[in-house]
Homo-oligomer: A and B are copies of this chain.
């Protein structure tokens, strides 16, 4: 036997526990699928009690979404090629690619805002942050003179991102990457065609 205790129940607390649980969740998600990623299963895999999960994340959806949101951070680039078109295409192609994976689809489904007030704030802020990143690309394009000053970055980004999300969530269409540049071109052309006296 080792000199140390054989298997101290491996008490996890605070941030350490959080990390272990999120890792176990992502792992379960990838290997067993969303349906099998039950709260009890995650608790077992992470060596933590089920109640603790509920106390920290309140609901299963919060837990899984948190895990996926944290995990997805490393999946989306922040391109800066000097051209709005290229930047947007790169960013949203990566998004499309990610949404085509099981994890991406799950993230999208669980990232849906249901109630009004509660702690869904996490969901809202997550998407706001992601879309905000894309809006920055557009703003840089405006500063470079590629787009007119009256361009609405928010609307423009929504027009590109919305269809991608809608495909996955609504019609379940394959979401080929080829649509991304077509969408970007369509929307950018539309933005450039706008007359400045537009109200």
Contact residues of A with B, CB < 8 Å? 109, 111-114, 116, 120, 123-124, 127-128, 131, 152, 155-156, 158-172, 179, 182-183, 185-194, 198
A interface, over-half SS: helix
Are A186 and B191 closer than 8 Å at their CB atoms? yes
For A172, what are the chain B residues with a Cβ–Cβ distance below 8 Å?
113, 116, 120, 123-124
Cα A172 to Cα B164 in complex, Å, equals 17
Of B159, B161, B164, the contact of A186 (CB 8 Å cutoff): B159
Q: A155-B179, A166-B161 are in contact. Are A171 and B112 (CB under 8 A)?
A: no
Cα A185 to Cα B159 in complex, Å, equals 12
Of B131, B152, B170, B179, the contact of A111 (CB 8 Å cutoff): B170
